[in-house]
Structures are given as C-alpha cells and as structure tokens.
Amino acid sequence: MGGFLSFCYRQLTVKPKPLPSNTSLKGKTALITGANSGLGLEAAKQLATHHVSRLILTVRDAEKGEAARTSILEKTPNTNVEIWTLDHEFYDSIVAFQQRVSTLDRLDYALLNAGVKKMEYSTAQTGHETNVQINHIGTSAVSFAVLRALRKTAHQLNAPTRLTIVSSEGHFWIPFHERKAETILERMDDKATFGHQMQRYYTTKLLNVLWTRNLASKVPAEEVVINTVNPGFCYSGLHRHESTGIIKIFLWAFGWTSAQGGHCLVDALVQHDGSHGKYLSDQKETAPSAFVLSEEGKTAETRIWDETIALLQKEVPGVNMSPFV
C-alpha cells in the first residue's frame, strides 16, 4: 500500500460500505470537528440515520453550521443536533471549546476531521504555517480537550469510548526532510521547507499518524479506543485551494463520492473493536507507511510528541493536558 498504482487500483475497485443497517447508536453522544460540509457533514448524516441521540458539530462559521444542521434534520428530524464554534487557528477558541466539552454529561465518539489543504505558504494567526497550525497543532490540542470527556464517560459506563483522527494515504508520499532539523515544528514554519503543491499538507497528515500512535500508547484501550483513518480520495471542499485543475482530473478519474468518504469515517469511528493506535484505510486495519514503522519513524514520533507538548504548554496554557504532563 502507498504506491501510486496501488492507490489508483484501490480507488477504482474498493467501494466503501455504510454501517450495517442494524447498528444502533441510541443513547450515544457523538462530536465531529469540521462538520459543516464535505466528509464531516456526510459522517454526521450517517450517524444520525443510526439514531445517535446527541450530535455535536463543530464549525468555524455558525451560519454554515446551522445550514448543516438543517440538512441533517431534513432526513432525521428527531436527532438532537448542536452547533458549536471551534477554530483551530485561534487558541482562545480551543480553550473555550475545552471548557464547553467539560460540561457534557457523556461523550461516546469524537471524530477529529477539521483540516485544511493550503497549496501555497501562509501563516495562521498564531504565526505557524497554516497547514501545521490547523491540521496538527490545533488537532492535537483538541484531542486533549475531548479526551477527558471520553475517559470520564468510559469510566461511568465501564465501556470504551472512541477517538478517531482523520489522516490521509498521502502520509506515504512525502520525504519529511524536516525530521532532521533540530526542532521539527520550527523547521516546518520556515517557508523554505514548504515544498510543492500538496507536500506540506501530506506532511501534516503524517504528523497526525505519529500523534495518534503516541497518544494511543498512553491511554488504555479499555478506556478510549484511539485510531487514525484515511477516508480515501473523495469529492470534498478540502480541494478548494487547488487551482491547477489536476485534482479535478484525478477526481473525475478516481474520486469517491463524499458519501463514500463518510462511510470510511463512520466505519473507523464505530467499528473495529479490538483496534487501538491503528491506521485504518479502505475500512480495515492497514499498516501505515514504512517510515512510521521504522526506528527513525519511532524517534520522530517521540520528538513530535515532545515538541507539541512543549509548544502547547508555552502558547496555550489554558489547554488541560493532564495526566500526560
């Protein structure tokens, strides 16, 4: 897995399936970040059809969130859909989100789907490169925010809850030269390292895989099952910053629908009992890239964890990272 021909073959031959029709999520609470459109919204719609009792959609734009809520209620009018604002680019937003999550009486599922694919170098409000800020730093901070609520629910129910972080098969395809820098995340803020087209985006998806594996190693599977998922190459607003037309050609030739991508996300979130710290692709457990599994990859995994913790402690002291620090 991970080669271009393998990618093309699977995109053409694999047909993602929805959850079994008899799967009931009645009584459960699910939270999805980046859920106002694309795969996040499709995942939300599918959870609603399986009678999830409370569905929390986090969005940057509340108006777009209400439009998403309306589209869900058109088919599943009895679903309790809540719209929460969350912007990975602003630390105050992440801290406020954490405080709100702490008030939940239960949280069974958290799908961290929010992300961006910037094709040209830019910096976020925090000063970090935008892909790195939103896809890695923001997602890592949000993972701590939801983890406390997930663990609390697991203890109350004496059953594991679920945390799934969205990555990409693209993590196979990048050289990750930044791993050789004295400080990886600082080096990734350097414009000179941005690379071409989707290279920086895919590097942040590698960081998602490394982060998920290390986080899972610190949380018992009996409390929270933590995995990362590749949703496949799908029609989605994620591609809105691509202007060359190449992506449109590939989508026409190989792309899955947003609904099929949603199938992959929901499958990873709800299915696969017994998995933990795994990379899920094509709706099954799959080995991540050879780099991730190598000794060098394990070293990078530890460094990314340590650097991210240090960064969050310095820049976002309001984010509660206990018991990890």
The residue ranking higher by pLDDT, 213 or 249, is: 213
Crossing angle for the helix pair 295-315 and 139-157, to the nearest 10 degrees: 90
Q: Are strands 80-85 and 284-286 parallel, antiparallel or unpaired?
A: unpaired
Residue 201 annotated as catalytic: yes
Cβ burial 152-180 (10 Å sphere, 16+ → b, else e):
bbbeeeeebbbbbbbbbbbbbbbebebbe
Q: Per residue in 154-184, pLDDT tens?
A: 999 999 999 999 999 999 999 999 999 999 9
Asked if residue 40 has pLDDT above 80, the reply is: yes
Q: How far is the C-alpha of 20 from the C-alpha of 325, rounded, in Å?
A: 40
d(CA 44, CA 25): 12
Whole-number Å distance between alpha carbons of 140 and 99: 16
The reply to whether 202 belongs to the active site is: no
Q: Is the pLDDT of residue 73 over 90?
A: yes
Query: Which is the catalytic residue, given 205, 258, 281, 289?
Result: 205
To the nearest whole percent, how much of the chain has pLDDT over 90?
83
- Which residue ranges form the domains of the chain, and what is each CATH number? 4-315 (3.40.50.720)
Task: Confirm whether 284 is a catalytic residue.
Answer: no
Q: To the nearest whole number, what is the mean pLDDT of the chain?
A: 93
Of the residues 168, 258, 275, 289, which is catalytic? 168
Catalytic residue among 109, 143, 167, 201: 201
pLDDT in tens, 4-39: 778 888 878 889 999 999 999 999 999 999 999 899
Distance of alpha carbon 224 from alpha carbon 290, whole angstroms: 26
User: CA 230 to CA 292: how far, in whole Å?
Assistant: 15
pLDDT at 256: 79
